[in-house]
Amino acid sequence: MWLVIHVLVASLATAMFAIAASVSVVQLLQAQREAATATSSNGPMARALRTVPSSPQLEALAYRCTTYGFVLWTFSLIAGAIWAQSAWTRYWGFDVKETWTFIIWVLYAGYIHARSTRGWRGTRSSWLSVVGFTAVLFNFTVVNIFFKGLHAYSGIS
C-alpha cells in the first residue's frame, strides 16, 4: 500500500512542478515582453503574451504550484521511506534515485526559502523553478536509464 501511495504522490508532485516550471517559462517571456518597448512588441509571441496574466501574477502562481508540489514531494519521500523499510529493511540506502530525490527536495526547499525570506522574486525565482524541474527531469530520465540501483531501469534491454 505504501508503494502505491509513494508513486501516486510522487506523480502528483511532479505534475505540480511541471506546471510551476511551465508557468515560470511563460513568466520569463512575459517579463521580457513587459520590459521591451511598445515598438518592439508586435510579433506573434508578444501578441500571445498580451493574453496571459502579468509577470508578477505568473510568478506568484508558479510559487503556489511549487509549494503544493513541495509538500507532496516531502510526503512522497516519507511514504517511500516507510515502504523501503518494509521491502528492504531500511528507510534510506543512498540509492542513486533516493539521492537525486533528496537533491530535488533541497533545490525546491532553497527555492521556497529564497523567495519567501530573501525576496527572490521575478526572473530569479522563475529560473530557480526551471532549474528545479530540470533536476526532476534528470531524475526521471538519466537516473532511471543510465544508473544502476533499486529504482533504476538501466538493466532493461
Helix (H) or strand (E) holding 78: helix 55-88
Other CB atoms within 10 Å distance of the CB of residue 117: 8
- What pLDDT, on a 0 to 100 scale, did the predictor assign at position 152? 55
- What pLDDT, on a 0 to 100 scale, did the predictor assign at position 4? 92
State the pLDDT confidence band at 45, using cuts at 50, 70 and 90.
confident
Please choose, from the candidates 120, 138, 142, 2, the residue with its C-alpha nearest in 3D space to the C-alpha of residue 59: 120
Q: What are the extents of the domains in the chain?
A: 2-146
pLDDT at 21 over 80: yes
d(CA 112, CA 63): 8
pLDDT at 149 over 90: no
- What pLDDT, on a 0 to 100 scale, did the predictor assign at position 28? 95
Cell of 17: 512542478
Other CB atoms within 10 Å distance of the CB of residue 25: 17
pLDDT at 146 over 60: yes
At 97-112, the pLDDT tens digits run 899 999 999 999 999 9
